Amino acid sequence: MSTQTTQALSGTSGAQVNLAPVISWLAALRYPAIGITTLLALWWLGGYVVANDPDMWAFANFAPAPTFSALYDLVASGDIWPTIVSSLYRVLIGLFWGVVIGVPVGVLIGYVGTAMKIANVPFQFLRMISPLAWMPIAVLAFATWDAAIIFLLVMATVWPIMFSTAHGVRRIDPNWFKVAKNLGASGPQMLRRIILPAIMTDVMAGIRLAVGVAWVVLVPAEYLGVTSGLGYAINDARDTLAYDTLAAIVLVIGLIGYGLDTICGLLIKRFNWHVE
Amino acid sequence: MGATISLDYITHRFSRGAAPTLEKIENRIEPGEMVALIGRSGCGKSTLLHMLAGLLIPSEGCVRVNGHQVSRPSAKWNMMFQKASLYPWMSVRENAALGLLFSGMAKAEAFSRVDELLEMLGLHDKRDVNVQSLSGGQQQRVALARSLATDPEILLLDEPFSALDAFTRTALQEEVPAICRDLDITMVIVTHDIDEAIAMADRVMIMSQNPGRIVGELDVELPWPRRHMDAGFQSLRDQLMTQFKETDDGLAGRKAITETTDDDAENAA
Ligand SMILES: Nc1ncnc2c1ncn2[C@@H]1O[C@H](COP(=O)(O)OP(=O)(O)OP(=O)(O)O)[C@@H](O)[C@H]1O
Ligand SMILES: [Mg+2]
């Protein structure tokens, strides 16, 4: 660490000033690097303990080395891609309907005080029901497994988006409406130029929450009848005792979830008009 | 281009059966005239101004602009508030051009018109910045540009400078009447500040409280630009202060309430 600092100092004072951003970028990465290394070390330690325990040695393939080798195989053979695609597809469709339902209803209950009063209790009630609890009903109500899973994902995504949107609408400065009306805004203009931009940050924050919940709900939902997706792949790996593949898929789930959240974070930044 | 405003016997109650907030207000404001409205906090100045803007409809009587009854807001009679209320997701230019964009004008044309105004108000180097990075005075200037962009006939100001520092306030108190005279805009300003009323208006109206009525007027015949140190300024200021105190000793308000109660009793009988 101390050598890095001296390098940074000599870098800025020397001729190659343009190295400074690279160095500060690397410096910013050092804490995440420590965290990841710790996680890997704990994982490796766990694998070591399991491998040396006579009762558990059968699970030794959960350790990092077999996992990464299985991951390499999955990626190299291309087997993993259709799995990821079908999972992402379900999440995106679920999210799409979550937005299509959640945003307008959120605007309505945020804008119309009476609608809020009427909807608050039932919606808070529905929100607290685990999306997975709808599973039997979903299976009965929808013709295909895919549709049933997407329904569960919609039940997961719609609430955070709806409540976040409503919250955003209620937070709008009433003077913004007054000024816009005064400047001759029509209803649609008010919606497009004032309300939607004003709530965009909150909608995006709701979407970020929704993506997190949807991604968590997706895997158990895919334990249902379908024969594709990450949840199915986990189940399949367990049934074939391919624990290295199972661990590799868990890794993939974590990585994609992290990636989705990062994308949402970037989008929030993009749409955020608050000054930091 | 300035418009005549006539206040035709305006009475307003916020709820049925409540004591009137405004009562029997009658007045006429000539084209290009600049009027200041002063009165105690809560006497109904903002309420009256909202009616002139068409943001509120009086329960009795009406506001007429050039003889036409005001029934809804229009960019031709434009209001500025104490807070600039700019939209933080728009640049300075977009904020200023908003009224033109609402009226369906193409963006390029709206921007070129707004650029002139921003230049006049000393904001041309700020036109692409985020409005949140502007000072309070600059924000209020953008709001002024936004109000002027739609070529209004009437400019309504509701304590627009009260949150600004003294220097900016004085500068704007000089600039706004100059612009209104230049563009021949009828102006009505609501203020708490007697100096501001004298500095900006041709005529000052004094409003009473409970119910809100126009109980006194003072013509300000001072040359432009007006300086606070001038002898004429000081004497008019004292005159207005005395007149304001006379009409507003709290007693007038209470007497008015008794009178209306008597009226009501008579009506009931
Ligand atoms: N929407 C409303 N509903 C009910 N009463 C209201 C409403 N708006 C204003 N009032 C009442 O009407 C009276 C006049 O209010 P107004 O805002 O016009 O006063 P003002 O003269 O502008 O005061 P200030 O100088 O403090 O701004 C106040 O007593 C206020 O409580
Ligand atoms: Mg007011």
Domain of residue A190, CATH code: 1.10.3720.10
A192 and A136 within one domain = yes
Contact indicator for B187, B20 with CB cutoff of 8 Å: no
Residue B191 Rama label (left phi>0; alpha psi -120 to 50; beta):
beta
pTM assigned to the model = 0.77
**Is residue A25's pLDDT more than 60?**
yes
- Which has the higher per-residue pLDDT, B128 or A103? A103
Domain assignment present for A223: yes
A254 and A135 within one domain = yes
A174 and A50 within one domain = no
Which pLDDT score is estimated for A273? 80
Q: Cα–chain-centroid distance for residue B125?
A: 29
**Is residue A50's pLDDT more than 60?**
yes
Which pLDDT score is estimated for A3? 43
A78 and A57 within one domain = no
Tell me which of B52, B83, B89, B147 to substitute to probe the interface with A (most A C-beta atoms closer than 10 Å). Answer: B89
Phi, psi at B117, each rounded to 5°:
-65, -40
**Is residue A53's pLDDT more than 80?**
yes
Q: What count of CB pairs under 8 Å joins A to B?
A: 59
Tell me whether residues A274 and B88 touch, CB distance under 8 A.
Answer: yes
Which pLDDT score is estimated for A42? 92
**Of A12, A37, A62, which marks where a domain is finished?**
A62
Domain assignment present for A106: yes
Rounded Cα–Cα distance for residues B78 and B160 (Å):
13
A195 and A244 within one domain = yes
Q: How far, in Å, from the CA of B43 to the mean position of ligand 1?
A: 7
Q: With cut-offs at 50, 70 and 90, classify the pLDDT of residue A17.
A: low
Question: Taking CB atoms and a 6 Å cutoff, what residues make up the pocket around ligand 1?
Answer: B 14, 21, 39, 41-47
Which pLDDT score is estimated for A15? 52
Contact indicator for B123, B142 with CB cutoff of 8 Å: yes
A104 and A57 within one domain = no
Helical (H) or strand (E) element with A231: helix A230-239
A186 and A149 within one domain = yes
Residue range B220-262, pLDDT digits in tens: 887 777 877 777 778 888 888 887 877 765 544 444 444 444 4
Rounded Cα–Cα distance for residues B96 and B110 (Å):
9
Which pLDDT score is estimated for A155? 92
**Residues of chain A neighbouring B83 (CB-CB closer than 8 A):** 175
Domain assignment present for A276: no
pLDDT (average), residues A232-243: 87
Tell me whether residues A176 and B89 touch, CB distance under 8 A.
Answer: no
A91 and A42 within one domain = no
Residue type, A101: I
A81 and A55 within one domain = no
Rounded Cα–Cα distance for residues A193 and B48 (Å):
28
Tell me whether residues B99 and A200 touch, CB distance under 8 A.
Answer: no
Contact indicator for A177, A190 with CB cutoff of 8 Å: yes
Residue range A117-175, pLDDT digits in tens: 888 889 889 888 888 888 888 889 998 888 999 999 999 999 999 999 999 999 898 89
- Count of other CB atoms within 10 angstroms of residue A215: 23
Residues 6+ apart with CB under 8 A from B146: A179, A183, B86, B95, B96, B97, B98, B99
**In tens digits, what is the pLDDT along chain B, a chain of 269 residues?**
678 888 888 888 888 888 888 888 888 988 989 999 988 888 888 999 999 988 899 988 889 988 888 888 888 888 998 888 899 999 899 999 999 999 888 888 888 888 888 888 888 888 888 888 888 888 988 998 999 898 899 999 998 888 888 888 888 888 889 888 888 899 999 988 888 888 888 898 988 888 888 888 888 887 777 877 777 778 888 888 887 877 765 544 444 444 444 444 444 43
- Count of other CB atoms within 10 angstroms of residue B143: 21
What is the number of domains present in chain A? 2
Which pLDDT score is estimated for A6? 43
SS3 A197: helix
Instruction: Kindly list the distances between the CA atom of residue A27 and the CA atoms of A6, A7, A9, A20, A41, in Å, as whole numbers in the listed order.
Output: 13, 12, 13, 10, 22
**Is residue A85's pLDDT more than 90?**
yes
Q: With cut-offs at 50, 70 and 90, classify the pLDDT of residue A16.
A: low
Which domain, by its residues, includes A29? Answer: 2-62
Chain A: give the shortest CA distance to residue B89, in Å: 5
**Is residue A13's pLDDT more than 50?**
no
A212 and A82 within one domain = yes
Domain assignment present for A190: yes
**Residues of chain A neighbouring B81 (CB-CB closer than 8 A):** 175, 178-179
Tell me whether residues B101 and A193 touch, CB distance under 8 A.
Answer: yes
CA atoms within 13 A of residue B130's CA, in its CB half-sphere: 9
Which pLDDT score is estimated for B1? 64
A160 and A182 within one domain = yes
A220 and A161 within one domain = yes
**Is residue A184's pLDDT more than 70?**
yes
